[in-house]
Amino acid sequence: MGMALARKGTRALTVDGTRYRWVVAPDDEPGLGIVVEAADSPGLRMVAWVEHGNTISPWLVREAILRALAQGWQPQARGPDFVLRLPAHLRRGV
């Protein structure tokens, strides 16, 4: 299991009433990694990989969270990071 995110340098986002914290991972291979965890009870982190060329925005992070939850991510559980690969050039409304 990965370490909890440091509060400094993370951004907050609320999705469906749950608060999350997220940061773009410093290691950018094989793309850009977005690391997300529940803000109030961090447990299982989600790492979403997106290809270079995507703009990392709150909308994209929200989309990653919703897709991860739909695929079984349980943010309050314990265990290894939940890894998600987002489609290339994901755009709002697509």
In a domain, 1, yes or no: no
Percent of the chain with pLDDT over 70: 82
In a domain, 3, yes or no: no
pLDDT of the residue at 83: 94
- pTM assigned to the model: 0.84
- Report how many domains make up the chain: 1
Q: Give the pLDDT band (50/70/90) at residue 42.
A: confident
In a domain, 68, yes or no: yes
Q: How much is the average pLDDT of 57-78?
A: 95
- What is the residue-wise DSSP string for 10-59? -EEEEETTEEEEEEE-S--SSSEEEEEEESSS--S-EEEEE-TT----HH
In a domain, 45, yes or no: yes
In a domain, 44, yes or no: yes
Q: Give the pLDDT band (50/70/90) at residue 58.
A: very high
Give the domain range for residue 63: 11-85
Is 60 exceeded by the pLDDT of residue 94? no
In a domain, 29, yes or no: yes
